[in-house]
């Protein structure tokens, strides 16, 4: 009984994600607060099993639920998060990719995502190719070494496979399902998107630097 209780206690504290979006939320309230923001997001996700303090990735940034209603939840965004992400551009009506934290026993359908945004990439171009969309990102110089062809990259919370790398540009392909289920359908060239590099790539680069 103690082991079962222990696992239940950490279900909402793992703070890991897969990059598979569960819902597109909508910002319903945006309030400045001590240099940060207090945001309420409307969602179609069931809030019944969410605890206050639960983690949810909002366009790739791991945030903590501080209040919840039947079809919405509220989070606080610190000045540090605003400085490192595109969350400062949010306003009422903005669409947001949502993914609740991974629970023990859940399938890992994308790749391991921490919800810690590494930087902002500019959307260089987005163009439909057949029934998919060719997306090109301009990657910051300090993050280029972590990105490899056929590796994983999280873009605004979405787990994607890198098709090609032409520093500083990275090619991605968005399939119809991902297009419909995420905010990519609302993006345009010039937008700044949150990116998180693959965890294994980060640690491999760290080990190589030590050697």
Query: What is the chain's mean pLDDT, rounded?
Result: 89
- Distance CA(6)–CA(54), nearest Å, equals 16
Write down the residue that tokens 């099993």 correspond to. Answer: 49
Q: Which of the four pLDDT bands, split at 50, 70 and 90, describes residue 13?
A: very low
Domain positions in the chain are: 2-100, 119-210
Of 5 and 132, which is predicted with more confidence? 132
* 135 phi/psi in degrees, rounded to 5: -115, 130
Tell me the average pLDDT across 16-28: 95
pLDDT in tens, 31-82: 999 899 999 999 999 988 889 999 999 999 999 999 999 999 999 999 999 9
Architecture per CATH, domain 2-100, reads as Beta Barrel (2.40)
Which residues lie closer than 8 Å to 187 by C-beta, 6 or more apart? 123, 126, 193
Q: 2-100 with 119-210: one CATH topology?
A: yes
Tell me yes or no: is domain 119-210 CATH 3.40.190.10: no
Question: So what's the pLDDT on residue 12?
Answer: 39
């Amino acid at each position: 009984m103690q082991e079962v209780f222990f696992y239940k206690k950490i279900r909402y504290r793992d703070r890991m994600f897969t990059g598979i979006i569960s819902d597109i939320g909508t910002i319903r309230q945006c309030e400045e607060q001590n240099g940060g923001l207090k945001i309420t997001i409307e969602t179609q996700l069931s809030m019944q099993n969410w605890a206050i303090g639960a983690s949810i990735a909002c366009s790739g940034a791991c945030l903590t639920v501080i209040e919840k209603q039947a079809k919405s939840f509220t989070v606080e965004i610190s000045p540090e998060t605003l400085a490192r992400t595109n969350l400062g551009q949010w306003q009422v009506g903005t669409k947001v990719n949502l993914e609740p934290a991974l629970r023990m026993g859940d399938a890992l359908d994308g790749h391991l995502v921490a919800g810690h945004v590494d930087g902002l990439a500019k959307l260089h171009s987005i163009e439909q190719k057949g029934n998919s969309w060719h997306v090109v990102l301009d990657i910051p110089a300090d993050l280029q070494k972590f990105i490899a062809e056929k590796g994983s990259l999280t873009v605004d919370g979405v787990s994607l496979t890198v098709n090609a790398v032409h520093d500083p540009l990275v090619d991605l392909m968005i399939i119809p399902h991902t297009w419909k289920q995420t905010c990519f359908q609302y993006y345009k060239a010039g937008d700044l998107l949150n990116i998180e590099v693959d965890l294994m790539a980060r640690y491999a680069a760290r080990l190589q630097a030590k050697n």
